[in-house]
């Protein structure tokens, strides 16, 4: 059994997911985790699938999808990482302000120095407004107030609003 | 005095529609100053906020810094909104603050100052706030719930220099606003 990562990127149109997943189903491959979104109208999908198959078989099966040149498809084998036992505490970082170079790198560098691991990230640009939302696991011993102060200082430097707060999870 | 006895006519002045500023305008990130609810310019601002809210389709609240003044004043009107339970009609509060908030629930919010995005934000659905009415300056307590509670918290956030963007629940909680033609 091999675990294969597939990415599909390109011009969006109806039916991409249906075509990709039926091609994989015909090969007898199981879908595991996947994510798909549209970035400024571009289709972007990543998925992990597992089956008794090779990378080239997967690429051939998805060949039709890429045939008209509007989509790029790639597949590669990946290691099966055991899901990390995250001991971190989950936080949400929000940033908004005028569009300018280096916002994401400035704030994520602060998080990285504190040992924070970003688990999910979305950025959006609409007219003049740039928006970043990052979900980040902070080490248990990270000092939240020191980090928040450092982020506020960076925000002031760049003229952007930065907020860090604990992510609330409700278990129902 | 209670909110039920207050009406926009008490302001005694005609409101002018003002331009609503959009993020990333710095005034939207500026904490507002306390105001004198009896001051003529504050009373005029209160009337202007109501007038601007009323001409803006779907607008259920507006804070002073959205029209460029970092003063602690906002208006709300969620009357007839389908998600509202308790409603107090149109009202304006000065120097309002939250005294009790409980039963948080997630809900989708938009904002005239962030016209192209919406976001899921957790807010208290039971809320008690205090504030002052213009022009009398009477200190009142407002107890509300559901959508009116959400609107009041959104507006108090504006007065404190925050947007709903500062409170979105996670990386998948921001959405491009859909416009149906
Ligand atoms: Zn707003």
Residue whose token pair is 């606003």:
B177
CA distances from A6 to A11, A73, B114, B120 (A): 17, 7, 36, 30
Is the CB of residue A35 less than 8 Å from the CB of residue A46?
yes
Is B181's Cβ below 8 Å from some Cβ in A?
no
pLDDT for the residue A125 = 92
Cα of B61 to ligand 1 centre, how many Å?
A: 7
pLDDT-derived band at B180 (thresholds 50, 70, 90) equals low
- Whether the per-residue pLDDT at B181 is higher than 60: the answer is no
Average pLDDT of chain A is: 92
User: Which residues share a beta bridge with B8?
Assistant: none
pTM for the structure as a whole = 0.92
Whether A94 and B167 lie within 8 Å, measured CB to CB: yes
Considering only the beta carbons, identify the residue of B24, B169, B172 that sits closest to A96. B24
- Which DSSP symbol is given to A27? T
- In the CATH scheme, what is the code of domain B3-176? 3.90.45.10
HEC states along B84-111? CCCCCCCEEEEEEEEEEEEEEEEEEEEE
ipTM of the complex: 0.89
Of all residues in chain A, what percent carry a pLDDT higher than 70? 97
Enumerate the H helices of chain A as residue ranges.
16-26, 55-61, 63-66, 103-113, 144-158
Q: To the nearest whole percent, how much of chain B has pLDDT over 70?
A: 98
CA–CA dist B181, B176 (Å, integer)? 15
Question: Among all chains, which residue has been given the structure tokens 């928040």?
Answer: A148
What is the whole-number distance in angstroms between the Cα of residue B157 and the centre of ligand 1? 8
* CA atoms in the 13 A half-sphere facing the CB of B168: 29
Domain A2-77 sits in CATH 3.40.50.300: no
Is residue B84 helix, strand or coil? coil
Does residue A170 surpass a pLDDT of 90?
Answer: no
Per-residue pLDDT of A38-57, as tens digits, reads: 998 899 999 999 999 999 99
Q: Break chain A into its structural domains and give their ranges.
A: 2-77, 89-166
pLDDT interval class at A100 (50, 70, 90): confident
Are B142 and B101 in contact by the 8 Å Cβ rule? The answer is no
Q: Would you state the pLDDT for residue B133?
A: 98
Handedness of CA B20, B57, B32, A167 (dihedral sign): negative
Q: What count of other Cβ atoms lies within 10 Å of the Cβ of residue A13?
A: 10
Per-residue pLDDT, A81: 78
- The arithmetic mean of pLDDT across residues B41-67, rounded, is 97
For domain A89-166, the CATH superfamily is ACT domain (3.30.70.260)
- Please tell me whether residue A9 adopts helix, strand or coil conformation: strand
Q: Where are the domains of chain B?
A: 3-176
pLDDT band at residue A83, thresholds of 50, 70 and 90? low
What pLDDT, on the 0 to 100 scale, is given for residue A140? Answer: 92
Please, what is the angle between helix A103-113 and helix A144-158, to 10°?
160
CB-based contact B166 A135, cutoff 8 Å: no
Q: How many residues does chain A have?
A: 172
**How many Cα neighbours within 13 Å face the side chain of B44?**
6
Residues B177 and B112: their CA atoms lie apart, in Å, by: 11
Residues β-bridged to residue A161: A96
């Amino acid at each position: 059994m091999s675990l294969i990562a597939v990415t599909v990127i390109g011009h969006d149109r109806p039916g991409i997911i249906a075509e990709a997943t039926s091609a994989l189903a015909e090969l007898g491959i199981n879908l595991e985790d996947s994510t798909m979104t549209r970035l400024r109208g571009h289709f972007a999908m990543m998925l992990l699938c597992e089956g008794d198959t090779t990378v080239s078989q997967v690429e051939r099966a998805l060949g039709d999808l890429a045939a008209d040149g509007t989509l790029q498809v790639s597949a590669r084998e990946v290691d099966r990482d055991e899901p990390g036992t995250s001991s971190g505490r989950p936080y949400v970082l929000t940033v908004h302000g005028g569009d300018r170079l280096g916002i994401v790198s400035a704030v994520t560098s602060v998080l990285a120095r504190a040992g924070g691991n970003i688990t999910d990230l979305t950025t959006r640009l609409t007219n003049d407004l740039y928006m970043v939302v990052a979900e980040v696991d902070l080490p248990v011993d990270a000092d939240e107030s020191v980090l928040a102060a450092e982020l506020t200082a960076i925000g002031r430097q760049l003229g952007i609003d930065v907020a860090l707060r604990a992510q609330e999870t409700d278990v129902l | 005095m209670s909110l039920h006895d207050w009406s926009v006519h008490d302001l005694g002045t005609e409101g002018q529609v003002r331009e609503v500023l959009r993020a990333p305008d710095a005034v939207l990130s500026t904490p507002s100053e306390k105001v004198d609810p009896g001051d003529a310019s504050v009373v005029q601002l209160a009337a202007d906020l109501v007038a601007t809210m009323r001409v803006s389709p779907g607008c259920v609240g507006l804070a002073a810094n959205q029209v460029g003044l970092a003063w602690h004043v906002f208006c709300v009107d969620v009357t007839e909104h389908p998600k509202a339970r308790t409603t107090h009609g149109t009202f304006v509060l000065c120097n309002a603050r939250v005294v009790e908030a409980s039963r948080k629930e997630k809900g989708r919010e938009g904002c005239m100052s962030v016209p192209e995005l919406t976001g899921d934000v957790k807010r208290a659905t039971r809320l008690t706030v205090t504030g002052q009415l213009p022009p009398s300056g009477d200190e009142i307590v407002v107890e509300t719930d559901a959508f009116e509670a959400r609107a009041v918290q959104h507006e108090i956030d504006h007065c404190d220099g925050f947007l709903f963007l500062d409170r979105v629940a996670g990386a998948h909680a921001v959405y491009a606003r859909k416009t149906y033609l």
